Amino acid sequence: MAAIEVADLTKTYGSLTAVDRVSFEVADGEVFALLGPNGAGKSTTIEILEGHRRATSGTARVLGIDPADGGRELRDRIGIVLQSSGIESELNVREAVDLYRASYRNPRGVDEVIDMVGLGPKQHDRVKTLSGGQQRRIDLALGLVGNPEVLFLDEPTTGFDPAARRGSWELLSGLRGLGTTIVLTTHYMDEAEQLADRVGVIVNGTIVAMGTPAELSAGTNVTGIAFRLPDADAIAALPRVGDGAHISGRLVEIRTTTPTADLHHLTSWAIERGVELADLSVHRPSLEDIYLSLTDPSTATRAVWT
Ligand SMILES: Nc1ncnc2c1ncn2[C@@H]1O[C@H](COP(=O)(O)OP(=O)(O)OP(=O)(O)O)[C@@H](O)[C@H]1O
Ligand SMILES: [Mg+2]
């Protein structure tokens, strides 16, 4: 049995359809990432699975239980890290973890959890005195303390410094190794690539692509082209190819469905002007390339996904 089964899940708010007939399954022990732009319906989907919101129609099962009336039986077996949480900020870190711990039947130890999220040195500090990233680690601790079979994480590493992000990746990989099923949302494609066995891309409430990162890459006809230009003049004169140039500093990145013609165009332009396309690379699309081609309404190229 899949740990999570979602079929035709729909959620409307008045005239807005926030989640539109979404279907997916997450296998036992799998890590599944929901990706999508702001307002796509990720939190709504995940909060229905957590039992925090009610679906308008469709079905959801978590560990075989309908989360809308899962009650204690389900709450005991899942861990939740909401996108924004409201911990009592007068408590210190230990007290907060201990308070949440008390509501579970088979919890982890307080020290173990504090150690897992790297808050040992801050355990006696009040929550309100911690930095944003440190507070987010408490959220993570509270999601873990119940020793859940299924862990839901809504943008768990937003606000984390790079070392903390890597630390949480290790933590989540470790949990995966213990057989925990994990559903997360993230805006960081490197995070999805690192952690997720499979990803689902959701746009305007609809799943537009789903699969392993490798399957998504194989299922698109988008090719990435990247190079560096010597100066702003060259950047200004660059011909438009593919979905247009995405420029950061002197680095130019282009996604295209017609790489042969576009490369010809670009290299002819460069030779004519005597410009070197430094570090020129033509590559299979990264998850970020695929994500952008699926979600950016302004791009001319669209990934093909059947
Ligand atoms: N309680 C609510 N009442 C009305 N509309 C809502 C409510 N909650 C969410 N929405 C709307 O539903 C849509 C989906 O919101 P949701 O929070 O699921 O997006 P998201 O994919 O999690 O976005 P983000 O990446 O910004 O967190 C948005 O258009 C949002 O404005
Ligand atoms: Mg959200």
pLDDT tens sequence across 133-167: 899 999 999 999 999 999 999 999 998 899 989 98
**Residue among 276, 279, 248, 282 nearest 263 (CA):** 282
Residues facing 17 on adjacent strands: 12
| Residue 28, SS3 per DSSP | coil
The pTM of this model reads 0.87
Measured distance CA(244)–CA(233) in Å, rounded = 17
Cα-atom radius of gyration of the chain, to the nearest Å? 22
Q: Looking at residue 238, what is its pLDDT? A: 93
User: Which residues does ligand 1 sit against, CB inside 6 Å?
Assistant: 13, 16, 18, 36, 38-44, 83
Contacts of 43 (CB under 8 A, 6+ apart): 83, 154, 185
Q: Looking at residue 298, what is its pLDDT? A: 57
Q: Looking at residue 272, what is its pLDDT? A: 96
Phi, psi of 92, deg, nearest 5: -90, 175
Both structure tokens of 200: 């689902």
Measured distance CA(255)–CA(103) in Å, rounded = 50
Tell me which residue has its CA closest to atom 5 in ligand 1: 13
Pocket test for ligand 1, best of 11, 16, 189, 208 (most atoms within 8 A of CB): 16
**Residue among 142, 30, 146 nearest 77 (CA):** 146
Tell me which residue has its CA closest to atom 12 in ligand 1: 18
Cβ burial, residue 218 (10 Å; 0-12/13-18/19+): exposed
Tell me which residue has its CA closest to atom 2 in ligand 1: 13
Measured distance CA(143)–CA(303) in Å, rounded = 36
- The 10s digit of each residue's pLDDT in 257-298 is 999 999 999 999 999 999 999 999 999 888 988 898 888 765
- The 10s digit of each residue's pLDDT in 6-63 is 999 999 999 999 999 999 999 999 999 999 999 999 999 999 999 999 999 999 999 9
For the chain, domains (ranges, CATH) are 4-217 (3.40.50.300), 219-295 (3.30.70)
- Could you tell me the pLDDT band of residue 124, with boundaries at 50, 70 and 90? very high
Q: How far is the CA of 11 from the centre of ligand 1 (A)?
A: 10
